[in-house]
Amino acid sequence: MVNAAALPKMIDLAIVGAGPQALTLVTHVLQKKKSMRNRFVVLDPSGQWLQQWQHQFAAYEIPHLRSPVVHHPDTNPHALRAFAESRANELFPPYDLPGTRLFQDFCQEVIRRWQLQDRVIPTQVEHLEPIRQQGRQRFQLTLSNGQVLTARRVVLAIAGGVPHLPDWAKALPKTYPPERLCHSGQVDLRGLRLGGERILIVGSGLTAGHLALGAIARRAHVMMMARRTFYEKLFDAEPGWLGPKYLKGFHAEPSWQTRWQMIRDARNGGSLTPAVLTKLRRLERDGKLSFYEQCEVQSATWKETAWQVVCSHPGAHNCITHLPIDRIWLATGSTLDVHNWLLLSAVRERYPLPTVQGLPVLDKHLRWPGCNLFIMGGAAALQIGPVARNLFGAKLACDRIVPALIKENLSHFRVQA
């Protein structure tokens, strides 16, 4: 870990975030241009690579990734399979999905091999200000310790979403113990004692499924509720989105609004993997789990020691009204809207750009038009497609960003498809 005090005052490239997207970017940049090694800094409050990623997998007790073995932060797509040669039992069917421990060990090997162990500086970027310096466009990054860093280029590799809460949950008076109703991002299964509790999990995605399995393993009875029918899908977007089969048509589409609709249709809300849904159906047969489909919470009231919940179909599911519920977990995802990114307030003011449903219309290098600010992850979906926030999306983002970082002549700022 590098001490923030060791930061230079001026740097060529500042990378904000230290998750899988940032790690993928760094390996791809260094493969193309080794001389970049001393020209960038990585800024993340944790001071560690993949800290949030690893925390989430541990908190939900996720046994393996949803992405196949060829998707990872290294530049060689076959590197993880080679690493797993003596650990074949940690590749899960049907597409050799890497186990969580295997993937984490591999990422640590990638970090060692690329000599990146001490490249994450433990600091939060509080403000990002476009400035002119000696006639050139630069960025001033104000850090949480008060330091100011000037960078020629900036890459935002952050998730950026805020927890989505249903309207009924937002309207609740804060008279209940906070651990009794929380968003999935606040749940950590480790250390929870849930024996005999009744837990309502709202949401139809894989996070809801993992939380249900973890709660039942702790002897809780779980009710899973969703506005839709629970359904299975191996990946969160069809495999055709990982190559030209679907992406060719997506990139040929000139309407950003239509692209957004294509992204929404491709992801199609939350889904469960076949393996997880099979486990949940088995637990339902064993009487440890109840599904409430095509149904949503209408209201919830904290009654001294438990929740009283009324759903939108009280006639069909009247029994839930009379059941005391100990906890409610909202596995309702997050909302991504760059208008709400305080970090970008000065950039938006100086360089306004069109957005579609909160997603920015970036140029073909994923650059914010008018300045050398690049964006990876879900916020780049209008260019990358529905897999933008996934591991493969990081690779697709690198194919666009890296050329602009290593070739000085790619400095135009036109918006292109």
First to last CA, the chain: 39
Q: Which residues of 196-222 are buried (b: 16+ CB within 10 A; e: fewer)?
A: ebbbbbbbbbbbbbbbbbbbbeeebbb
According to CATH, what is the number of the domain 164-233+268-333? 3.50.50.60
Tell me the pLDDT tens digit for each residue of 343-364.
999 999 999 999 999 999 999 9
Q: CA 266, CA 409: separation in Å to the nearest integer?
A: 35
How long is the chain? 417
Contacts of 359 (CB under 8 A, 6+ apart): 260, 336, 338, 379, 381, 382
| Model pLDDT, residue 416 | 39
Please tell me whether residue 233 adopts helix, strand or coil conformation. Answer: coil
What distance in Å separates the CA atoms of residue 21 and residue 392, rounded to the nearest whole number?
A: 9
Close Cβ partners of 355 (under 8 Å, ≥ 6 residues apart): 338, 339, 361
**Within its chain, how far is the Cα of 150 from the centroid?**
28
Question: How do the residues of the chain divide into helix, strand and coil, expressed in percent and rounded to 5?
Answer: 35, 25, 40
Q: How far apart are CA 171 and CA 1, in angstroms?
A: 42
* CA atoms within a 13 Å half-sphere pointing along the CA-CB vector of 115: 5
Kind of pairing between the strands at 297-303 and 306-311: antiparallel
pLDDT in tens, the chain (417 residues): 556 657 889 999 999 999 999 999 999 999 999 999 999 999 999 999 999 999 999 999 999 999 999 999 999 999 999 999 999 999 999 889 999 999 999 999 999 999 999 999 999 999 999 999 888 999 999 999 899 999 999 999 999 899 999 999 999 999 999 999 999 999 999 999 999 999 999 999 999 999 999 999 999 999 999 999 999 999 888 889 988 899 999 999 999 999 999 999 998 888 999 999 999 999 999 999 999 999 999 999 999 999 999 998 777 666 688 899 999 999 999 999 999 999 999 999 999 999 999 999 999 999 999 999 999 999 999 999 999 999 999 999 999 999 999 986 665 444 333
Name the DSSP class of 265. H
Q: Which candidate, 92, 37, 34, places its Cα nearest to that of 67?
A: 92
- Amino acid sitting at position 22: A
Burial state string for 226-247 with b = 16 or more CB within 10 A and e = fewer than 16: bbeebeebebbbbeebbeeebb
Instruction: Check for a shared fold between 4-161+336-406 and 164-233+268-333.
Output: yes
Which token pair is 100? 């969580």
Counting runs of H as helices and runs of E as strands, what totals does the chain give?
12, 20
Which residues lie across from 136 on neighbouring strands? 133
Residue from 23, 4, 3, 8 nearest 115 by CA: 23
- What the block records as the tokens of 64 is 């393996």
In three-state secondary structure terms, 6 is helix
Q: What ranges make up the beta strands (E) of 86-168? A: 91-92, 97-98, 120-122, 125-133, 136-143, 148-156, 162-163
**Locate tokens 């952050």: which residue?**
158
Contacts of 384 (CB under 8 A, 6+ apart): 366, 393, 396, 397, 400
d(CA 146, CA 188) in angstroms, rounded, equals 32
Q: How far apart are CA 170 and CA 364, in angstroms?
A: 38
Q: What is the pLDDT of residues 35-89, one digit of tens each?
A: 999 999 999 999 999 999 999 999 999 999 999 999 999 999 999 999 999 999 9
Contact 354, 370 (CB under 8 A): no
Domain ranges of the chain: 4-161+336-406, 164-233+268-333
What's the distance, CA 343 to chain centroid?
18
Q: How many CB atoms lie within 10 A of CB 121?
A: 23
3.40.50.970, 3.50.50.60, 3.40.50.920, 3.30.465.10: which CATH number matches 4-161+336-406? Answer: 3.50.50.60
Nearest 10 degrees: Cα torsion 51, 54, 59, 63: 180
Task: State the burial class of residue 304 (Cβ atoms within 10 Å of its Cβ: 0-12, 13-18, 19+).
Answer: exposed
- What is the reported pTM? 0.94
Q: Give the residue among 389, 101, 56, 376 at the shortest CA–CA distance from 211.
A: 56
* 35: exposed, middle or buried (Cβ count in 10 Å: 0-12, 13-18, 19+): exposed
Strand partners, 346: none
